[in-house]
Amino acid sequence: MRRTPLLAGASSIFLFVTAVVIGQPSANASVTLPKGVFQPCVVASAPYCVESVSITPSGGKAIALSWVATGSPGASAGNTMGAAAGKELPGRWTADKAFATENYDGLYIEAKAANEFVPWIYVDAIPTNSPGNKVSLAASTTSVTTPVSLNADSTISVKLRISDFKVGVTYGIATDALLDVKTASGGNTFELTGNPVRVPQAKSSKDCKGDTGVASAVVTQFQTILVPSNDPLGFSFEGGSGKIYVGSNGACNLSTPVWSSEKKSLSYKASAPRLAPDGTTVNTGFYYASVSAADALALWGIKKVEDAASALVISVRTSANGSVAATKVVAVKNGQIIIQVFGFEFPEPMLDISLNPSYDAMSSSAASATNMSAQGTVKKSPTPKPKAAAKATTISCLKGNVIKKVTGVKPTCPTGFKKR
């Protein structure tokens, strides 16, 4: 198991992450990502590019967004009150009326290598400001490097073409996340759909430790990191499907899962400044995890995702002064195990998802195979009669002057021999 610390740069936040390798990565080929930002596929149909972006307003239907390069006319800008122009951006994904009620007029999807040391893909949905067709970051009026908040009630969907990159795990700043990972000979694709979340911002990593760290701002954002399974600096385990997602609003030290085979436990870590910008209010956090049926079987031996609530134990560990009091919910949706934990305090909580020692996968599977009578009593399925053991026979096989005798239930002659 290998750990590699890195800093993934993001607009106005520090996203510190840890690489964790599970399995036998030495047998995997290396992934090579483009040096720069992924272009929209409509601009450059490259092996790595942004294929599509859409938003779904609360209670509405999905709106497909189109790419508009900076300097080009596009959908009219939204209400820019409360926003300033930050750094210039290459363009925006937008549509008529899609952002009419927002103080930003589109999204710039910044997809690129997390840094030069690891082949991880970092994705950030950045709000844009372009009243004169010059696309810029929609920034706070008090700081041109801090983005305005995205609408937490508006669902964002981003689809990428990712060449031969095979997803091992996905994690980041979003909730209610759904993954669609597809492998094809012409190139793999990855699609993440989820909602932005409020994130306490940190000026430096020092703000994310101890009891005195104060957030510089609280901004609603949508970010994610894709970690490959087919690279030595990736995340993999036998039977993994690439459809594990974990999200949090703790942007500091958010990590890939750490697997303990002894405890049958996955651990996730995130942190954030303990105090809100007022210096008094304590920031609280959440974890959201989605685990596919295939991954639940491979990790914990859970044969039916419906058993998750009883099969898994969800716990939160934190620093000495942090509160571990939290609401924990385990549910199943569309064949995925959904785990939600919220209400705990920062700075350094860690989520553990482990197998319940009293859970018996075999007896649970057997129980699900029984039939319930109308009175509610359990009626066991009839025990089948044992079949008689098949008898072995012996045949003689001839090749030239060589005779071989073969014994078995259904014996056959070796290659080149004929039955006598």
Predicted local confidence at residue 29, as pLDDT: 63
- Choice between 56 and 398, residue whose per-residue pLDDT is larger: 56
Distances (CA, A) of 86 to 99, 115, 123, 130: 18, 23, 19, 10
Q: What is the largest CA-CA distance in the chain?
A: 98
| Assigned token pair, 329 | 């919910």
Label the pairing between strands 312-317 and 258-260: unpaired
Cα distance between residue 69 and residue 106, in whole Å? 11
For 367-400, letters b (16+ CB in 10 Å) and e give eeeeeeeeeeeeeeeeeeeeeeeeeeeebebeee
- Angle at 210 (CA atoms; ends 207, 211), nearest 5 degrees: 95
Q: Percent helix, strand, coil in the chain (nearest 5)?
A: 5, 45, 50
Cα 199 to Cα 285: distance, rounded to the nearest angstrom = 9
pLDDT of residue 95: 95
Grouping H, G, I as helix, E, B as strand and the rest as coil, residue 67 is strand
DSSP-derived secondary structure letter, 296: H
Q: What is the pLDDT of residues 237-279, one digit of tens each?
A: 888 889 999 999 998 877 677 888 888 888 888 889 999 999 9
B/e letters for 277-306, b = 16+ CB within 10 Å, e = fewer, are: eeeeeebbbbbbbbbbbbbbbebbbbbbbe
3-state secondary structure of 363: helix
pLDDT in tens, 323-347: 566 788 999 988 899 999 988 888 8
pLDDT digits (tens, 9 = 90+) for 354-402: 999 888 765 554 443 332 222 333 333 444 444 444 556 677 776 665 5
Confidence of residue 71 (pLDDT cuts 50, 70, 90): very high
Lowest mean pLDDT among 95-109, 280-294, 307-321: 307-321
Looking at residue 11, its pLDDT comes to 34
Q: What is residue 139's predicted lDDT score, i.e. its pLDDT? A: 95
Q: How far is CA 208 from the centre of its chain?
A: 23
